[in-house]
Amino acid sequence: MMEPRVLIVEDDAELRGILVRGLAEEGFRAEATSNGADLLKRAVAAPADALVVDIGLPDTDGRDLCQALRAQGVEAPVLFLTARDGLVERLAGFRVGGDDYLTKPFAFAELVARLQALLRRSRPEEPPTSDRGLRLDPTRHAVAAGDRERSLTPTEYRLIGRLLGESGGVVRRRDLVRAGWPEGAIVHENTLDAYISRLRRKLLELAAPCEIVTVHGVGYRLE
């Protein structure tokens, strides 16, 4: 199997070197830069399997960079590195398309484990289909209805896939969290709600013949 390509943006030169050397020893093909503009250029030029993005960059906020990546069609999972672990901080990152958070200082083994989990979850073997007029495309990482298509982040893809796989049945909130995020990730109630809102908007843009309905106190279903 080809080594996963991981792009890293981190302005601390010492940490940047540690990440590149350590990930290479773990079987990753790691490339690093110190600024967001360069990472954006690299990620658009050649597909990466995962991105490690420091939030506190000298030229931009890592969350703004993530939003720019998604706008350019880059759908690789994003693992944020941050010195702050507040709820507002995490929610802001998830809303712009981030997939996981790791707070500094961190154990290198945990970073490797989180990257491996993100890679597993971003490569579903058998994407579910639906008789509700929606199709998932694992190659393009997109959802389609009729002749319209919208790109999905890895987390969005996993969540809509879980809902589609239930064939209109209710999916409990805890099961959606398990499907959407790596094991051990801290996912608050508002985080899942934010992703469901993003998916609802995309289904509206598709003029999809179904919608995500809230089953209060339980979870969600496609109807």
List, for residues 133-179, the tens digit of each pLDDT value.
Answer: 788 887 778 888 888 899 888 889 889 988 988 877 899 898 898 88
Parallel/antiparallel/unpaired status of strands 50-54 and 5-9: parallel
Residue type at 77? P
Q: How many residues does the chain have?
A: 223
Whether 150 contacts 206, CB under 8 Å:
yes
pLDDT at 101: 87
pLDDT at 183: 66
CA distance 223 to 221: 6
pLDDT at 94: 81
Whether 200 contacts 193, CB under 8 Å:
no
Query: In 10 A of CB 121, how many CB atoms?
Result: 20
CA distance 48 to 32: 12
pLDDT at 129: 53
Structure tokens at 148: 């319209």
Whether 146 contacts 134, CB under 8 Å:
no
Instruction: Compute the mean pLDDT over every residue in the chain, rounded to the nearest whole number.
Output: 86
Closest CA to 81 of 105, 112, 64, 113: 105
pTM listed for this prediction: 0.60
- Cβ burial of 69 (10 Å; 0-12, 13-18, 19+) is buried
pLDDT at 52: 96
pLDDT at 1: 45
Q: Each residue's pLDDT tens digit in the chain (223 positions)?
A: 468 899 999 999 999 999 999 999 998 999 999 999 999 999 999 889 999 999 989 899 999 999 999 888 888 999 999 887 767 777 777 888 888 888 888 999 999 999 988 888 766 544 455 546 788 887 778 888 888 899 888 889 889 988 988 877 899 898 898 888 876 667 787 889 999 999 999 999 998 888 999 999 889 998 8
